[in-house]
Structure 1
Amino acid sequence: MKSPTLGSWFGRKEMAAPSDIESAALRSDRFRLEREGDWRRLEDIVVSMEKGGLRRIDDDDLLALPTLYRTAASSLSVARETSLDAATLSYLESLVQRAWFQVYGPRKGFFAWLREFIFGGWSRAVREIWLDICIALFAMIAGAVVGWVLVARDSDWYFRLVPTGLADTRAPGASREELLSTLDVEQGTGGLSTFAAFLFSNNAGVCILAFALGFAFGIPSLMLLIHNMAMLGAMLWLFAEAGLITEFSAWLSVHGTTELFGILLSGAAGLHIGRSMAFPGERSVLDAAAISGRRSAVVMVGVVIMMVVAALLEAFPRQLVAGAQSRFIIGGMFLAFWLAYFFLYHPRRLDTASAEDGG
């Protein structure tokens, strides 16, 4: 028996191709007809949601949306595996992407999210971690006291607590005039914008670290707060010894009321996660961490905003405004603003208000 030649083999393949194409087309048509009703219904729901949100969707369609989405996603998977026609595949890919966004994607645009965040979301998240704020505040006060006491007993502790870059002429043994000169205003604004960028990067790094360490049950976050405030306590002692505690406090208050508040919130946010993991209650540890993590993340977004404000205050008003009274006024105004915003500002939830308006 003679074996087939290469030419005869290709001839058979060419003759078989039309029937294969017809079979694939028939299979694709049958697949589409069996499921097209669900696809069309899903598409109508998605189009309505894209035009007017949930208010344009009736309850039956809203309940059916997740199931219809999963059906379309399954159909897309089958279409890819069986190499159905390109038109069906392209239609399903587009439909599944649009449906995913409506089922799992964000419900608001950026400006709507920003409006809700500023007008209630941020302050609400801060109030929800009030216990952690109290614990973090106690740790910060204790850290400042410890730093003061250590340096008062042995001035060598100053160089262990205060980095060399910050100490410069502000060190034990410096004269009153030398210390006072470090609190003077700048003669111009040259280079202050670069200084502001550096300060923001440094301050934000401290806050992010205090937040990130919270996953170790919050203990490292508290230690970081104590260490940073011990440094401040050491500097407070230094200026108090020179009779400049009022001038230094005024100089610090310009940006410090915002910066220290932000550090307090970042430490509290990290502690909130760690405390929820250590004491999850009836939830699992992962669920407790997820819930507290979302709340703390909202707080941290706001902390970044506070660090931007603190860096600008530190680089400009603090460097350009003279006089203890003027500096205290600036720092006091910002402290009053943050306290009022976080603890006195209680707006209604915007999503609740929108639902009531729609009803």
Structure 2
Amino acid sequence: MKAPILKNLFGKAEAAPPPEIEAAALRSDRFRLERQREWQRLEDIVGRMEKGRLRGLSDEDVLALPVLYRTAASSLAVARETSLDASTLEYLDSLVQRAWFQVYGPREGFVAWLRRFLGGGLSRAIRGIWLDICVALAVMVAGTVVGWLLVLQDREWYYSLVPVQFADTRVPGASREVLLESLQVEKDTQGLSAFAAYLFSNNAGVSILAFALGFAFGIPSLMLLLHNMAMLGALLWLYHDAGLTLEFAAWLSVHGTTELFAILLAGAAGMHIGRSMAFPGNRSILAAAAESGRRGAQVMVGVVLMLVFAALLEAFPRQLLGMEGRALIGVTMLLFWLAYFFAFGRARSRDEAVESP
């Protein structure tokens, strides 16, 4: 049977489409008309959100967004199953992707996140583990004192506490001139650079381990801090015995006030996780670990940034400046970190706490 002959708008005769094509077109039109109003509303809401016009959205629109998204996603699935026309599929696919990003996607880009993180997020996370920081600081001070006292009583302890890389000319019995030479200003970045690189890799490894071992209720983190600071105590005794306490403190402070602070924060972050798991309170252990883990992860991002900055201080200022310049940089960095972590962003935190229900 031949298809009926129809005339188009120009008066030319052409064959009518087969009945199955007409039925599919009719079904597609009916499907689109039944749901078109919901799609248009979803597109309007998504469009305003993409343009940043959030204040123009009513409460009803905000509540309807996830419902409209799921409806559009369901319509897309049906359209694919029934092989509707390509234009409807393309439209729905684009609309569902845009709506998904607004419902489930990230609310800010990397630059905005970094600005918020450095603008108060990091300092708030660190203030949130203040108790663990106090405990870790006490352990680090105790480790330094223990290392000093052990070497003071028996010099053989020095070789057990201080790695071979440190014990080149820096050994008990070395003359004041030899020890002073190890702290001298370099004309270039050679000489002490290898020693600085070792310090950075050592402290970076200690920081990562101190955080990772916190899951064992924080005890290994504390032991690691104790052992690492005992090495510093032994070195401090060595230079004090030669009358070079100030020179050594200035040499160490350039990067030490940043690097040792980073180790302190890493150990406190690890211990915070372990303490939350050991004493979860009214929460489950998994919930307590998840909450403390998120806060600890924020702190560790800051620790990584601090270690990178400390490496730059080790590579140049420490080798190329005298005792006064080193001490000035060290004290300045210590004051900066204290102000940034424990004073910066407090007013904003109070405002957010008042605004939150």
Provide TM-score, normalisation by structure 2.
0.83
Q: How does 1:292-311 map to 2 (within 5 A)?
A: 292-311=292-311
Q: How does 1:45-194 map to 2 (within 5 A)?
A: 45-80=45-80, 84-189=84-189
Deviations 1:155-204 (CA, angstroms, capped at 9, x unpaired):
33222222222322212232222211111111124699998777655544
Aligned mates of 1:290, 1:254 — CA distance in 2: 36
Counterpart of 1:334 in structure 2: which amino acid?
A: M
Aligned mates of 2:77, 2:348 — CA distance in 1: 40
Q: Contact 1:214 / 1:273 at 8 angstroms: preserved in 2?
A: yes
How far did 1:140 drift?
A: 1.0
Q: Which residue of the partner structure matches residue 14 of structure 2?
A: none
Aligned mates of 1:328, 1:321 — CA distance in 2: 10
Q: Which residue of the partner structure matches residue 335 of structure 1?
A: 334
1:326 is aligned to 2:325: yes
Aligned mates of 2:213, 2:83 — CA distance in 1: 49
Q: Contact 1:270 / 1:296 at 8 angstroms: preserved in 2?
A: yes
Cα distance change, pair 24–227 in 1 and its aligned pair in 2 (3 A)? farther
Deviations 1:296-333 (CA, angstroms, capped at 9, x unpaired):
2222222222112211111111110012x332221111
Q: Contact 2:42 / 2:68 at 8 angstroms: preserved in 1?
A: yes
Q: Contact 1:273 / 1:289 at 8 angstroms: preserved in 2?
A: yes
Q: Which residue of the partner structure matches residue 213 of structure 1?
A: 213
Q: More deviation in 140-149 or 65-74?
A: 65-74
Cα distance change, pair 28–225 in 1 and its aligned pair in 2 (3 A)? farther
Aligned mates of 2:111, 2:349 — CA distance in 1: 13
Aligned mates of 2:305, 2:296 — CA distance in 1: 15
How far did 1:77 drift?
A: 4.2
How far did 1:132 drift?
A: 1.0
Q: Which residues of structure 2 form unaligned runs of 5+?
A: 1-17
Q: Which residue of the partner structure matches residue 13 of structure 1?
A: none
Cα distance change, pair 56–279 in 1 and its aligned pair in 2 (3 A)? same
Q: Which residues of structure 1 form unaligned runs of 5+?
A: 1-17
Cα distance change, pair 71–175 in 1 and its aligned pair in 2 (3 A)? farther
Q: Which residue of the partner structure matches residue 291 of structure 2?
A: 291
CA RMSD of aligned residues (A): 3.1
Counterpart of 1:129 in structure 2: which amino acid?
A: I
Q: Which residue of the partner structure matches residue 11 of structure 2?
A: none
Deviations 1:119-151 (CA, angstroms, capped at 9, x unpaired):
222212111111111111111112212222222
Deviations 1:49-100 (CA, angstroms, capped at 9, x unpaired):
1101522311111111222223333444444555555444433333233222
Q: More deviation in 131-140 or 271-280?
A: 271-280
Q: Which residue of the partner structure matches residue 345 of structure 1?
A: 344
Deviations 1:16-74 (CA, angstroms, capped at 9, x unpaired):
xx777666655555544443333322221111011015223111111112222233334
Cα distance change, pair 214–35 in 1 and its aligned pair in 2 (3 A)? farther
Which is richer in helix? 1
How far did 1:252 drift?
A: 0.6
Counterpart of 2:224 in structure 1: which amino acid?
A: L
Q: Contact 2:239 / 2:245 at 8 angstroms: preserved in 1?
A: yes
Equivalent pairs counted in the alignment come to 338
Aligned mates of 2:76, 2:64 — CA distance in 1: 18
State the SS of the aligned residue for 1:167. Answer: coil
How far did 1:209 drift?
A: 2.6
State the SS of the aligned residue for 2:41. Answer: helix
Q: Which residue of the partner structure matches residue 6 of structure 2?
A: none
Deviations 1:200-219 (CA, angstroms, capped at 9, x unpaired):
55544432332222222222
Cα distance change, pair 192–148 in 1 and its aligned pair in 2 (3 A)? closer
Q: Contact 2:255 / 2:311 at 8 angstroms: preserved in 1?
A: yes
Q: Which residue of the partner structure matches residue 264 of structure 1?
A: 264
Cα distance change, pair 221–337 in 1 and its aligned pair in 2 (3 A)? same
Q: More deviation in 155-164 or 253-262?
A: 155-164
Cα distance change, pair 191–79 in 1 and its aligned pair in 2 (3 A)? farther
Cα distance change, pair 152–55 in 1 and its aligned pair in 2 (3 A)? same
Counterpart of 1:242 in structure 2: which amino acid?
A: A
Aligned mates of 2:23, 2:227 — CA distance in 1: 74
Q: Contact 1:161 / 1:231 at 8 angstroms: preserved in 2?
A: yes
Q: Contact 2:28 / 2:84 at 8 angstroms: preserved in 1?
A: yes
Q: More deviation in 166-175 or 186-195?
A: 186-195
Q: More deviation in 88-97 or 54-63?
A: 88-97
Aligned mates of 1:276, 1:312 — CA distance in 2: 35
Counterpart of 1:331 in structure 2: which amino acid?
A: G
Q: How does 1:10-29 map to 2 (within 5 A)?
A: 28-29=28-29
Identity of aligned residues (%): 72
